[in-house]
Structure 1
Amino acid sequence: MLIYGLKNCDSCRKAMKALPEAQLVDVRGAGVPDAVLTQAYERFGSALLNTRSTTWRGLDDAARAQEPLALIQAHPAVMKRPLIEVDGVLFLGWNKEIEGDVNAML
C-alpha cells in the first residue's frame, strides 16, 4: 500500500497513523508515477486538483490554465492528498468512509 502525499500534510499524517503498514511517497521529492497519475485523473477528474491549497492560490492564471496532469507534475503540492493505492485501486482524500473502504480491502 502506497500513500502519495506530503510528510507535513495533516491528512496524510492521519492516514499514515491509521494505516501503519503503508509507505508514504513524498510527492515533492519522488513525484507520482505517470501511470498512477493518469489512472487517478481518469477516476477522480478535476477533484484531483486541490484548488484550496496554498500552492494553488500562489499560481498565476497561466499556470492554473495548464492541463491538470502537467500542473500536478510541475507543482506536486497542488494535488489533493492523500492519494492512496491499494492493490491497484485508488482512493483520494482521507475520512472515515475512505478509511473503511481501504481497511475492507486489507
Structure 2
Amino acid sequence: MTTMYGIKNCDTIKKARKWLDDAGVDYQFHDYKKDGLPEALVDQWLDELGWEALINKRGTTWRKLADDLKDNMNTTNARQVMLDNPSIIKRPLLDTGAQKVLGFKADEYSSLFAG
C-alpha cells in the first residue's frame, strides 16, 4: 500500500493527492498533525534519506529556527526538530513500499506508477 505523508492543507500535498486520485492510484494519507509522527518512522527516514533531504530549508518553519540550531544541524538535531515540528519535513513524502519519493513532480509520479 502506498502511503503519502504530509499536512492536509499544504498546497503541494493537494496537488499530489489530486494527481494520485486522477491517476486512480490507491493510497493512504497520513497527516502529521492529525495522525502524529512515530519516532521509529523518523528514524527509518533519516537512515534511508538523510536529514539533508528531509528538512525543508525553504519553509517558514526552518526560518523560525534559532540560527545556532540551523548552523549546527546534524542527524540528531534534525530528528528532534522533525519530531517537534513535523511541518519542517519536505512534502509530500510518498512511500510506495519499494521506494520513497520526496516532493511532487507529475512526471516523476507518472514514471513511478507507469504500468
Residues 1:40 and 1:52: Cα distance change in structure 2 (over 3 Å): same
Residue 108 of structure 2 corresponds to residue 98 of structure 1: yes
**1:12-43, CA deviations, whole angstroms, 9 ceiling, x for partnerless residues?**
11111111232221112223333332232223
Q: TM-score, normalised by structure 2?
A: 0.77
Aligned runs of 1:11-30 on 2, under 5 Å? Answer: 11-20=12-21, 21-30=26-35
Is residue 44 of structure 1 aligned with residue 49 of structure 2? yes
Name which of 58, 63, 77 aligns with 2:64: 58
- Percent identity of equivalent pairs: 33
Letter in 1 for 2:7: L
- Say if 2:84 is the partner of 1:84: no
Cα distance in 2 for partners of 1:23, 1:62 equals 37
In 1, Cα distance between equivalents of 2:80 and 2:88? 11
Gaps of 5+ in 1: none
Counterpart of 1:90, as a letter, is K
Amino acid aligned to 2:66: D
Structure with the higher fraction of residues in helix conformation: 2
Runs of 4+ in 1 over 4 A off after TM superposition: none
SS in 1 for 2:91: coil
Change (3 A) 1:32 1:100: farther
Contact 1:4–1:32 (CA under 8 A) maintained in structure 2? no
